[in-house]
Structure 1
């Protein structure tokens, strides 16, 4: 006997709610239940499109909240899948989720364009939680390209919604983290620390050791920017003590940060110890972006200027090509600083100019 589309639709709505709450365990069960019901469902294109959208969103949630791999190209729906018969809510979800995926690909200009389409369709959504979800995605996108004023405007609206919702504490924690990262970019470090600590406090209250580890990693970025290198390393070591964090795709991020911070401190033996760990992780789980970043850091601290310059240019070009503007900006400043210390002023100027042009490029991104 076939399953009625209404039954599947109700299960998908439950799945969507679990995703919005970042309730990973419930979402996993409902995702499997949805797949099972779809096998016996009467034909219904709209339900299938809804499932495919939620399937992609579900995988993005696991990537962002549990560090599970999200291969590029693993996105179910394209704009061609939508037609005149697709209802406006499904249409809205497509553009909302597509925005997040494009940002994941570092395709920021198209992501902003897509986000603006979603924002126009937001008037069809009559839910504070749905609206807050949009605010979070918009804020995260603008944060990624250092457009902090725009990002803060959106994330403050999301926080106002989530603070009134007992079931959305993890969403509130995520919002605090976005706010903290914006304050870090603005060099308002005391404010940034306050909101990172609020996010960590919520993770502890929820007994979510993985999310707590993630926030320890995130706060380390603020300490690094502030020049508090030992505090940065302490936060990173708290993160990597979590087994779930070490099993995630984000583990290499923390190892890279420790390598960089140890080199900056002048602790080359400590840096090389974690560098070997990072190389083992990259051998098991290749990550070209972090391989490029580690190559740059190792080269500026270990190689002679000519060899270092060639490697830095090569790897920075890779980061530029892959769209990692934030990485290009941060590492250009690091290269500049190290070259200045060695009195390689001409080479330092090259990367100072690159940092400036990259910052300008981020600030000019507005969507087509």
Structure 2
């Protein structure tokens, strides 16, 4: 039997963030995952670190995540763009939402000094920045503090960097039970001062009563990688009016309610898909396009082709290109709950942690800093030096 200061169950970005925060504090760490490699929600996403659109606790964790991502880009060689985000407003009610957030945030930012959170753009400024079809924008905004990573490289790069620092990884190892001070797996037991359970939507496999109490379900989504044939590269991730209904800082504004009413009335089929029309461009020039959302205790593996057809149609319309050539399609799955986060301690020294609104890449490293800091400042035992 082996012992570590911290055992992390789950090797997604939230789990890796906890391993990083613990390793930064000089603690011994092992990460256990039943999969053979990183392949869940931390890979099947846009790579968009959308810090600015977060509100409340999510904004706090986003602010803590941003400098960690910048450090990882330097230390672990992760591909990262300090690109900001461009929001395209195609209707006056979308522009109204952007104006309200700009007014609310003002000139000071929790992310740094020198730039506000929201910089409003004219239609001409949006069309200068993006290769849109003519007349697509009535205005927009630049969110300068947002970042972009390559989701297919970021998690694997972080895991490799942690392994180089002495963090142990045990893949293809299923956890069958968690108790204070001990994790039982299919490859033996591990003693731990602290256990972090970061298994995203699979929390119901180890703690079904917590998942039921917190209303945590699975959210499935449809995404694509395409060759869109754009006349120029995207300088940053792109959000649209549909995105303004999804992120807390936008969605809670008075103008967002009016926007939602109009979009649902004008485009009922798209509203039924629970659409977030957004785009990021990978280093190879291909676009990640998405996404739709559907929820349940389980999600069907059978994806409706209509969702993909709508995503392709909207992409062609926005950028004024023929139907994009599909390179890949996939289904993402993540935990969906009533709140942005699950942060629970069902037993002493056992912490259940998840981002439960699909913002793990954006907030997960800051969430991990918060949890590990609270552990280190508490009376929970650390097995420092035991092997």
TM norm structure 1: 0.25
In proportion to residue count, which structure has more strand?
Answer: 2
In proportion to residue count, which structure has more helix?
Answer: 1
TM norm structure 2: 0.24
